[in-house]
Chains A and B, each alone.
Chain A
Amino acid sequence: MAMTRIAAPAQATTGEIIQLKVLIRHPMETGYRRDLYGKQIPRDILKRFECRYNGETVFAAELFPAVAADPFLTFYTRATESGALEFRWTDQNGNVTSETRQLDVQ
């Protein structure tokens, strides 16, 4: 079960700049660490985050091994029309975690 937290306004006025905050549970294991027995701990990281506003990408970020566990991102977009905000995290194996929030623009 993916654990995520998303802070997105439910309503906005046309043209308003809205703040979006996302937090996801992920170990972001670098692949450089070794366990107690000297064995390498395999890399396990998220590679990409994307926010789509009615299907259009309005924000994207590449993530690397240097990013700490449980990555937290804050970004902004301009509210233009009512619709869906989709938040997508893609890990190194291409698995996607996706959450959607509705935005009502007046």
Chain B
Amino acid sequence: MIRAGLIALALFSSLPAVADPQFSGNDDLASDRVQSGSVFLTDETRQLQEDGFANPGYLWVDRGRSLFASRLSRQSCSDCHQEDGERPMKGAATRYPQVDSKTGRLMNLADRINECRVERQSTERFEAESEELLSLTAYVTAESRGMPFAVDIEGEAKPYFEVGRDYFFTRRGQLNLACNQCHDDNWGRLLRGDTISQGHSNAWPGYRLEWQTFGSLHRRLRDCDLGVRAEPYEIGSEIYTSLELYLAWRARNLPLESPGIRR
């Protein structure tokens, strides 16, 4: 009995200290312990992701490639962005989200594509999470496959980065959980028959087996918030884009895997 009590006490004392709700963490995941989400998949799912033909995410990459070259308006994307020209797409996705120099606002890749649609192609924005926007984002991101994120978190980006990091370390929802409690403190352990990953963003946009379709990181983040029974934010909201910036920085030592396959 005493022994059991001691074990219980030992277990309890190893739990993270109860943080106050405004706690802004600075204990980021040590870079030598960083592991991609693909490490936590089954062999079959990982093989599907690595299969350049069977990976269903390439359906969207293919469509994005043809949209990129097609004349949707007076100008196609590839009129400006050529593979070996001045504005190649290789590496572009690794620099997003970034602060737009004109508006001073944080933009992710989907925002930038829509901005190009309006400003340069004189046409309308694609709706958030539309097949067209997902396809173009998938194509541009796949052009950086294998490269690490290289986001700028200094200067104008710094306040957004702080907001994103705060989001990661803030408890929320009926379950009163912060992202870090699972993805920093308990990764590798089981949660309802599933292995908890480190919550990296390097597979997105990606194909989620649960959805049976392709989706954005923001859609995935909504599921995280729903998982802790918090009110999710809209896809494309500034708070998720800020979190996206923090996550990109957090995953900076991992290669981009998009189009990734996740459970």
Contacts and interface: CB of A to CB of B under 8 A. Distances in A.
A21 B58 CA distance: 14
Nearest to B135: A3
A27 B212 contact: yes
A27 B211 CA distance: 10
Given A21-B53, A72-B54, A27 B213 contact: yes
Contacts of B58: 5
B53 A23 contact: yes
B59 interface: yes
A84 interface: no
A43 interface: no
Contacts of B59: 3-5, 23-25, 70
B139 to A, nearest CB: 12
A59 B63 CA distance: 27
Contacts of B56: 23, 25, 70, 72
B234 interface: no
Given A3-B63, A5-B62, A69 B53 contact: no
Nearest to B213: A69
A25 B213 CA distance: 9
Interface of B: 53-54, 56, 58-60, 62-63, 212-213
Given A21-B53, A23-B59, A24-B59, 17 more contacts: A3-B59, A3-B60, A3-B62, A5-B58, A5-B59, A5-B62, A7-B53, A23-B54, A25-B56, A25-B59, A27-B213, A68-B212, A69-B213, A70-B56, A70-B59, A70-B212, A72-B56
